[in-house]
Amino acid sequence: KHPLATLGYETKYDVFVKAEGGGLSGQAQATLLGIARALCKANPDNRDPLKKQGLLTRDPRKVERKKAGLHKARKAPQFSKR
């Protein structure tokens, strides 16, 4: 509800979201970004207040790829001296 509260639209819009994949935190951030972008499309004047609150910025972090010879991206097999 943060984008709606920023613009004072809590009672003006009803939002229904279906999020899949990721965790709860990732889904919450995706929902927040989607609502903010939709409000920008509905009225371009909404862009400046949302941008100032940082609601139009996507989190650029991604999962690191798995490397050959490792268990995961950085977890190596147990080292044996003998």
User: For residue range 23-79, what is the model confidence (pLDDT) as tens digits?
Assistant: 999 899 999 999 999 999 998 998 999 999 888 999 898 899 999 999 999 999 999
**Every domain of the chain and the residues it spans:** 3-53
- pLDDT band at residue 16, thresholds of 50, 70 and 90? very high
Nearest CA to 6 among 45, 53, 41, 38?
Answer: 53
Q: Would you list the DSSP string of 33-81?
A: HHHHHHHHHH-GGGHHHHHHTTTTPPP---PPPPPTTSSSSSPPPPP--
pTM: 0.77
pLDDT of 2 > 90? The answer is no
